[in-house]
Structure formats: C-alpha cells, structure tokens
Amino acid sequence: MTAPILSLKGVNKSFGPIDVLHDISLDLRAGEVLCLLGDNGAGKSTVIRLLSGVHQPSSGSIEMDGAPVKFSSPRDAADHGIATVHQFGGTFPLMSIGRSFFVGVEPTKGWGPFKIYDRKKANAIAVDAVQRLGITRITDGDRLVGGLSGGERQSLAIARAVHFGARVLILDEPTAALGVKQATHVLRIVNEAKRRGLAVIFITHQVMHAMAVGDHFAVLIRGAIAADFRKGDKTREEITDLMAGGASMATLEAEIEGYTTAQGGQPAKRA
Ligand SMILES: Nc1ncnc2c1ncn2[C@@H]1O[C@H](COP(=O)(O)OP(=O)(O)OP(=O)(O)O)[C@@H](O)[C@H]1O
Ligand SMILES: [Mg+2]
C-alpha cells in the first residue's frame, strides 16, 4: 500500500465541555475512496471540519505526506490541496456561476490565467465543467448561484474541486439532495477523481452509494471509530447495521412490522 497523503493521529475534539470526537486515527491514500459512515450526530462532519481547517483538533495531530500540519483556516487547507464540499452549501448565493467557480483562485497561486477577470471565459469553463457532471440544464454562467437547486450547487462545488486539481476531495453527503440520475453522476465523478489519483472522503447514509465507490470504510459511533475495514471485508447487511449505529436492521424491520400490524396495517392516528 502507498503512504498516506493525509492522516489523523489520535485526534480528540471537544467544544467546551462537550467531547465530540475520541481518539480518531484515519489514513487517506491517493487513488482511494474512504467512506465515513455513521448515524446522525456520530461526528462525521466534525472530522471533515478538522480536515478542512474549519476547526482545529483539541489534541492529537493531522499529518500531510507524513509531516505534521496545522490548518489555520479553510483557506489554508485549500492551499494544501484539500477541496471540501460541505454538507450544507458553502457557496455564494449572490454570485454568478462563473464568478463563484473562480472565486478565491488568485493567479499568484499559479492556478490559471485569470489575472483580469474574463467573464466570458470564466462562464464557459464553469458551464462546461458542470455540464460534464451531467447537470446539462445549466447553460448560462451569468445565472446566480442562489437560484440553483441544492444538487446543482453541490455539483458546481465538486466540478470546481476537480477542475482545480485538488489532491484531496472531501464530500459531505453529496448525494443526499440529489435525484437518482444526478447521484449516479456524482458517484461517477468520485470514481473519476479516484482514477486521477485523488484521495476522496465520501460521507453518505446510503449503503448502496458507499458500496459503489468505497475502497476503505470507517464507521463512527458516538465520536469513536467503531469499525475500520476494506472493501469486501463485510457484507451489505453488516455495513447497514454498522451505519445504523450498531442496531440490527432486521430487528428494526421486525419492530416496524409489529407496529403496523398493531395498527391493523394503518398508519397511527393522530390524537
Ligand atoms: N460547534 C459545536 N459545538 C457543540 N457541539 C457540536 C458542535 N459541532 C458539532 N457538535 C456536536 O457533535 C456531534 C457530532 O456532530 P456532527 O455534525 O459531526 O455529526 P454527523 O455525524 O455529521 O451527523 P449527520 O449525519 O446528522 O450530519 C453532535 O452531537 C453535534 O451536536
Ligand atoms: Mg454531518
């Protein structure tokens, strides 16, 4: 196996008196997709916020290419080649598609020829990148980001990360707001990013999506890593149970069955 690009080493995170993450160690490798799984509130987004410079660990360390790093801000993490599509937006509603695609991409970073903002060129590149993700309804780069659907916004953010050659792509529930067709496109992009040698972290609540792209799986339960395994090590049922926080889905289904039977097959009446 290759050396990890990015690692968490014994990371803890507390917010005041609330301990959210406990002793998290994870390795991300080039050309691999790590699926981070776990129930609501398990701590997945908090792990992502540490890796993308939104928060800093309370203790433990982050290493990049084997050397300790501190991401002081999201901008700092981005400068290290970490592109993050956060769970809830993170775009600029009053900016055009073309503008938002290139925002913060200063020419001093050596990221392209945009010394003077060239609206037409920016629009053409942004629209092309989004269209290649299958969002063919976007044809006008002057449209405001605020007028896009949630799924279209996420696709725009992913297109941007891939376009600017990030080394690590972090996707926090990118398929949650998407229709079947767009979700399939996102999974395809994840595979494409992997093929290009990016390390990808992918968060999802859908076991089929996880299994479609994951090489490596880590399950968080109440802020700690409860399982860490590779593709093929566990069955779909085992993964589903782990994603539900360790509860057996078969038991849950039996409970629901018993409940609907008790109601004579009818939904519960309102009081
Ligand atoms: N800034 C904060 N201050 C206090 N508690 C926080 C803070 N951020 C997160 N938490 C708590 O940490 C826990 C983990 O939250 P997190 O958002 O990481 O969960 P998650 O696994 O992403 O859940 P979901 O699947 O619902 O997105 C939750 O109990 C949350 O309330
Ligand atoms: Mg979350």
**Amino acid letter at 138?**
I
Please tell me whether the overall predicted TM-score, pTM, comes out greater than 0.75 for this model: yes
The reported pLDDT for the residue numbered 104 is 65
For residue 223, which ligand has an atom nearest its CA? 1
Atom of ligand 1 nearest to the CA of 46: 18
For residue 206, which ligand has an atom nearest its CA? 1
- Burial per residue of 107-138, b for 16 or more beta-carbon CB atoms within 10 angstroms, e otherwise: eeeeeeeeeeeeeeebbebbbebbebbebeeb
CA 60 from chain center: how many Å? 22
For residue 245, which ligand has an atom nearest its CA? 1
Asked whether 47 and 36 are in contact (CB, 8 A), the reply is: yes
List domains and CATH numbers for the chain.
6-234 (3.40.50.300)
43 lines ligand 1 (CB under 6 A): yes
What is the Å distance from ligand 1's center to 158 Cα?
23
Closest CA to 202 of 249, 154, 165, 156: 154
What is the Å distance from ligand 2's center to 174 Cα?
11
The reported pLDDT for the residue numbered 163 is 84
- Taking the C-alpha atoms of residue 181 and residue 171, their distance in angstroms, rounded to an integer, is 18
The reported pLDDT for the residue numbered 48 is 94
- Taking the C-alpha atoms of residue 86 and residue 173, their distance in angstroms, rounded to an integer, is 8
What is the Å distance from ligand 1's center to 226 Cα?
17
The residue ranges of DSSP E strands in the chain, in sequence order, are 6-15, 18-28, 33-38, 59-64, 67-69, 82-85, 168-172, 199-203, 216-221, 224-230
The reported pLDDT for the residue numbered 30 is 94
- The structure tokens listed for 25 are 């160690």
Q: Residues within 5 Å of ion ligand 2 by Cβ?
A: 45, 87
The reported pLDDT for the residue numbered 177 is 72
What is the Å distance from ligand 2's center to 118 Cα?
36
243 lines ligand 1 (CB under 6 A): no
> Residue 41 has what DSSP assignment?
T
- Burial per residue of 41-77, b for 16 or more beta-carbon CB atoms within 10 angstroms, e otherwise: ebbbbbbbbbbbbbbebeebebebeeeebebeebeeb
Mean pLDDT by 10 residues, the chain (271 residues): 93 96 97 93 94 96 96 90 75 82 60 69 91 84 87 80 85 79 80 86 90 94 94 91 72 71 63 50
